[in-house]
Structure 1
């Protein structure tokens, strides 16, 4: 019971940030939960379930801001990436996956900080599909599937609510895909984790609403700076706690 409470507190703190930026719940919750002694498989399951439940609500709330074609391409491309991630779990030691994901996260944050043209164009379908596949791979291996898509949307300089809306739609699809593949393709016992998942989901949903309220009041330039800083810091935390 003690670990469940600790996990819920980690998820709640991370969900405020996730609600405010459209992502980041898993990025912050992962190093916190791992440091608290919660295993990587359990952490991945919690992150995916919380992402699914909270992003469904965000998708409904912000549906008018979603670019459905982009979300469809990202989601479809995540399927083969997630499948490959499940296959990887049996080949690479757990301690190698986490620092690798952290390094990728930091690189994404640094790339987001690079200057872009004033009138940024939407990414091509090929680039979008490639990013979706990478995100799918990270979803089943570490649950850190946000940074590649955040980089993609950040470089396109979307308005905050459009950014959050597209990410929410993507997270809904990739979370369903990843959870299905992990349940059928690995030994993870999702029903056995029901108490942990339920408590963390309630904490995540409640805190996420606070984060969304904050997001509606953030100017675009402040929002972009906060996202970049979050990506870099979370990546470093993931490496340090490996």
Structure 2
């Protein structure tokens, strides 16, 4: 976040342009012409109507992600706000623990109760989202609202992109970019399954000990689990 930058709200709570004039902010607070409404980031609200105030065009850029959200608000000349918001990644595990606790309780108290399929959420509410997905969407909206409360944002740009990994690998290797049926001729073509491909790719050598264990039987598994950001290639 920009250093020594104070965010300002007018008497009605609407955001104005931030300022770096710490001396003026100190005098306004001392004269009871402004009050502190938030300390992180430091935000004050004016208790009088200023004679003139100019609002510039501010663009808020949002880099949406599954674990982090990148935020940057800037004018044509300088950056006014920057943040790297971290999202929760424990929602799925907490739901699993809750489901197990409820299941054991039902087995103890209502052991012979028939399944009630009409009580399922997806059957009662159309357009229902998984709680982990809904939580991520809510967090994105909340961080955007937080910025718009302290800055007069005039435009919001959200970066959403899907990456073609096969095309990226071909571009880095200086090969022809795949088109159409080329996607069916990938590096796993003619292999029976992923296990055989991975073993051949790694030279039938353990990638953790690099063959020091001399184990004749190799187990195929993720070095970096998918829940920790790994992929099927690792």
> Same-fold call, TM > 0.5?
no
TM-score, normalised to structure 2, is 0.22
- Higher RCO (C-alpha 8 Å, min separation 6): 1
Q: Which has the higher helix share?
A: 1
Q: Which has the higher strand share?
A: 2
The structure with the largest alpha-carbon Rg is: 2
TM-score, normalised to structure 1, is 0.21
